[in-house]
Chains A and B, each alone.
Chain A
C-alpha cells in the first residue's frame, strides 16, 4: 500500500467515525488570512552593504577600499532624488526588472541601537525584533500563535529560524518539497512501509500520542507532497542555485494554494573577511545569484497573478566595516542595507545616503539611522498583523508597501 492510498483510507475511516482529524478542520479556518504573502530572505554572514548600495559620490568610498571598491564605470546608478547611490553591477537583473519598474524599496543604514557584531547575537536580534534579546520567541511568533496553524509560516531549507517560533505554535520547517518525506526507495522505503504498518496499531498513553503525531506528520507530508504535482510546477525557469531552488519551491507552494502567508529562507556565504572581490568575486557571485532568483520569482508571480500580493524582504544581520582589511575583505560592522520587492511596493530609497566621512561613522562602521523594526512593521501590516504586537510599540511603518 503506498502512502497516498493509506492517507485516503484513513481519511475515509476518520470521516466515517466522525473523528475528523484536527489538521483538516483547522485548514478551513486558517484559509481566511488576508491573502497576502511575505517572503523573508536572510543573507547570513553580514552582507557588505557599502558594496551593495554604493555611496559612490563620496571620495572616502574608493579611499577606504583600494582593492575592492567598484569602479564608477561599473556601478549602476539608482538616480534617486537627493542621493548619489548605485547598485553593485551583479545586481543588473534587479535594476532592470525591479528598480526600474518602481518595485524595489531600499532601506539604507538599517540596524538597531547598540549594534552587536556577533553573527549569532545579531541574528537573534533580527529574529526576535528585540535588541535586548530578552529571550523572546520569534518576531513572527505572535502571528503564528494567533493563527494556531503551523502551516501559516513555512521555512524552506531545513532549519526552523527563531523568527518563526511562537510561544505555543511554531512554523513548519521543510528542507525542500521533494525532501519532505521518506523516499519510496531503498532504506527509507522500507522504513516507510514499516511505519505504515506500525501506525495502524493503536496504543495507549504517551505511545498513542506519539502514534497520532506520526499520523499527523504523514498527513502533513502528504499535504506538502501535493505541491509536487506537475500541475503546480512553475512556468518560469528558475536558476539552479540555492536561492533559485528555494524560490521555485515557494512559487510551487503559492500556486498550490498552501496555507502559508509567510515563507522564510536563509542562505550563507556573505561573511567576506577575505577575498570579497569587486566587480567579480565572492560577493558579486552571491549578489548575482540572489538577483537572478529574485527576478525569476517576480516573473513567476506575475504569471500566477500574485506579484501584487507578495512582499519580499531581504536582510542581513549586519553590514561590514567601511574600510577593507588586509586580506581583501571586510570585517563585521553595523549599518546594513535591506530590500523590499513586490508588485505593490513603493519603490525608492528610504533612509538617505549612508555617510562615509570618519566623523559620521560609528567606530568605523556605517552608523545606524533606521531601525529594522520599522521595516518589520510594514511587513506586519502586509500580512494583516498588528505591528506593535510583533515588534513592540513605537515603530511606525516606513510606507515601503
Chain B
C-alpha cells in the first residue's frame, strides 16, 4: 500500500533557548484555556506543610529552590514529555511563551473529563481506542499520563473484573489523580473493580480473604517490610463486609454486616473496633495507614521514578513525601516541575516510555488525533508492544519508566510500529502537524525514530 509519509526537514527542537512568540497561544494542538483560577487550597497546603515540618522558602518554593534558568522550547519539550507523553513544536512554543510557573499551572489544570459511556456503548467501541483518543485530544493530557500511573499503581485486571468496571475505575482515577492521596485511597478502597479484583467481596468472618489487606499495605501504601503478617490478618478482618452490590446495570460499593467480624482488631499498633458502625473499621484502617510517613515516602519514590529519574535520591523522596502528606498530588508535581534538578542534563531523557505512552506520543507527533475502529492499535498494544492498558501483567503493575520494558521482541515491535503509526491511508492525511521534535530529542525525519532517544521521556 502506498503511504503518504511527511518528512519534517529540520529538528523542531533547538538546543539553544528560543524566545517564543507571544502570539503562539492559539497554536498549541491541545487548545489553550483560561489561566489557572486562583488556587483556594493553597493556604491550606502551606499550613499543612508547616504543620508537617515542611520547608517553605521565601520565594514560595517548597524546598530545594525553584528553577530559574532559561525556559525556552528546549526545556518546554522536556516538560511536555514528562507531564503528558506527547506534544509538538507548537505546544512547546506555547508553554515557553507562558513562562515556567504558568506553563506548569496550565499543564496541571483541572482534568478535562471525557463523557462517561454506559457499557452498551462498548459493544461497538474499543476501550483502548477510547482512552487513546481522549489522550490525543484532551485539553489536559497530563491528567492522562497521571491516570495511567495511578491505574498501574492501584492495579486491576479487566480479565478478572471486566473491562467496564476497569474503565469506570480509570475515569475516577483521572478525576481524582491530582488531588490528595487520601481521597484516592478512600475511592479505591470502595471501588467495585478493586473489591472484586482482590476478592474482598468473598471475604467473611469465617473465611477472611487476605488479598486486599496484603496488597493494600505491600503495593498501594506502605511497601514491603513495614507491617507484619499479623497486621495483614487483622486488616482482612476489619474489611470483612466490604463488598459490591449490583443495581441499575452497574456494580456499586456495599457493606454486608452479616459477614463482618465484630471482634476488636490490633492493626499497626492501634486498636480498631467499632461495634456500632462496623463499616467504619475499614476507614479507620485507611486512616492509620494515611497517618504514617512511610506511606508518603513510598508514593513519593514511585512518582519520582515515573516523572523524574530512575533512581531518585533520598532527599528528593523525603521532600516529596512531605508535600504529599500535607497537600495534593498537584502540589507535588508543581514542586517537581519547577525544581532545578528537573531541568538538569542527567534528568532529561533518563526515563523510558511505556508502550502506551510510546504509541500515543508517536500518533500525536505523526499528526493523528483519533484512532479509527479499523486501525488495530489495541492489537498492537496488547499483542505486540506488551502493554494492554486494561490488563496490567499482575497486581504489582507495569515497570515504572525503566528499561525493563525493552525486551528483544518488544523492542523490535516498537520499531515495526513506526510504520503503522506514521503512515496514512491514501484517502486521509494527518489531522495535526507532523512534528517529531517533542516526541524525541534530535528528530530529523521518521527514520530518526529508530534512535534510542525515541524510547525516552
Residues of A within 8 A of B (CB): 118, 120-121, 123-124, 132-137, 150, 158-160, 162, 165, 170, 172-174, 180-182, 187-188, 190-191, 194-195, 198, 203, 205-211, 213-214, 216-217, 220-221
Partner of A160, one of B160, B386, B419: B386
CB neighbours of B180 from chain A (8 A): none
Q: Is the pair A214, B416 in contact by a Cβ cutoff of 8 Å?
A: no
Q: Tell me whether B433 is interfacial, beta carbon within 8 Å.
A: no
A135 CA / B197 CA spacing, docked (Å) = 9
Q: Tell me whether B51 is interfacial, beta carbon within 8 Å.
A: no
Residue of B at shortest CB range from A170?
Answer: B407
A76 CA / B350 CA spacing, docked (Å) = 63
CB neighbours of A160 from chain B (8 A): 386, 409
Given contacts A195-B415, A217-B406, 20 further A-B contacts (CB under 8 A): A120-B158, A120-B159, A120-B160, A135-B394, A135-B396, A136-B394, A159-B384, A165-B394, A180-B409, A180-B412, A191-B418, A198-B452, A203-B452, A205-B350, A206-B310, A210-B452, A213-B411, A216-B408, A217-B408, A217-B412
A369 CA / B265 CA spacing, docked (Å) = 40
Q: Is the pair B409, A174 in contact by a Cβ cutoff of 8 Å?
A: yes
Smallest CB separation, B243 vs chain A (Å): 18
Q: Could you pull out 12 A-B pairs where Cβ atoms are within 8 angstroms?
A: A135-B395, A159-B383, A180-B409, A181-B412, A191-B447, A195-B415, A198-B452, A205-B349, A214-B411, A214-B452, A216-B408, A221-B408
Smallest CB separation, B60 vs chain A (Å): 32
Partner of B447, one of A134, A181, A190, A217: A190
CB neighbours of B447 from chain A (8 A): 190-191, 194
CB neighbours of A174 from chain B (8 A): 409
A194 CA / B418 CA spacing, docked (Å) = 13
Partner of B452, one of A165, A191, A211: A211
Smallest CB separation, A299 vs chain B (Å): 29
Smallest CB separation, B401 vs chain A (Å): 9
A55 CA / B350 CA spacing, docked (Å) = 62
A210 CA / B241 CA spacing, docked (Å) = 48
Q: Is the pair B394, A198 in contact by a Cβ cutoff of 8 Å?
A: no
Of all A-B residue pairs in the complex, the 8 with the closest CB atoms, nearest first, are: A135-B395, A120-B159, A210-B452, A220-B408, A213-B406, A217-B408, A159-B383, A195-B450
A191-B418, A198-B452, A217-B412 given; A150·B407 CB < 8 A? yes
CB neighbours of A211 from chain B (8 A): 452
CB neighbours of B346 from chain A (8 A): 205
Partner of A206, one of B350, B382, B384, B448: B350
Smallest CB separation, A14 vs chain B (Å): 18
A118 CA / B162 CA spacing, docked (Å) = 10
CB neighbours of A207 from chain B (8 A): 349, 452-453, 456
Smallest CB separation, A2 vs chain B (Å): 16
A327 CA / B412 CA spacing, docked (Å) = 43
B330-366 residues with Cβ-Cβ distance < 8 A to A are 346, 349-352
Q: Tell me whether B328 is interfacial, beta carbon within 8 Å.
A: no
CB neighbours of B349 from chain A (8 A): 205-207
**Residues of chain B at interface, number, CB under 8 A:** 39
A43 CA / B416 CA spacing, docked (Å) = 28
A150-B408, A158-B383, A217-B408 given; A210·B403 CB < 8 A? yes
For B158, B396, B415, B452, the residue with the greatest tally of chain A CB atoms inside 10 Å of its CB is B452
Interface 1/0 per residue, B423-457 and A, CB below 8 Å: 00000000000000000000000011011110110
Q: Is the pair B408, A172 in contact by a Cβ cutoff of 8 Å?
A: yes
Q: Is the pair A213, B403 in contact by a Cβ cutoff of 8 Å?
A: yes
Q: Tell me whether B211 is interfacial, beta carbon within 8 Å.
A: yes
Q: Is the pair B419, A188 in contact by a Cβ cutoff of 8 Å?
A: yes
A187 CA / B386 CA spacing, docked (Å) = 23
A135 CA / B394 CA spacing, docked (Å) = 5
Smallest CB separation, A310 vs chain B (Å): 24
Q: Tell me whether B64 is interfacial, beta carbon within 8 Å.
A: no
Residue of A at shortest CB range from B454?
Answer: A210
CB neighbours of A120 from chain B (8 A): 158-160
A124 CA / B409 CA spacing, docked (Å) = 22
A174 CA / B411 CA spacing, docked (Å) = 12
Partner of B409, one of A123, A137, A172, A190: A172
A62 CA / B349 CA spacing, docked (Å) = 66
A162-B393, A195-B450, A210-B455 given; A133·B160 CB < 8 A? yes
CB neighbours of A191 from chain B (8 A): 415, 418-419, 447, 450
Partner of A210, one of B310, B352, B407: B352
Interface 1/0 per residue, B317-339 and A, CB below 8 Å: 00000000000000000000000
Smallest CB separation, B127 vs chain A (Å): 14
Q: Is the pair A182, B412 in contact by a Cβ cutoff of 8 Å?
A: yes
A135 CA / B382 CA spacing, docked (Å) = 18
A174 CA / B416 CA spacing, docked (Å) = 13
Partner of B403, one of A118, A181, A209: A209
Q: Is the pair A134, B211 in contact by a Cβ cutoff of 8 Å?
A: yes
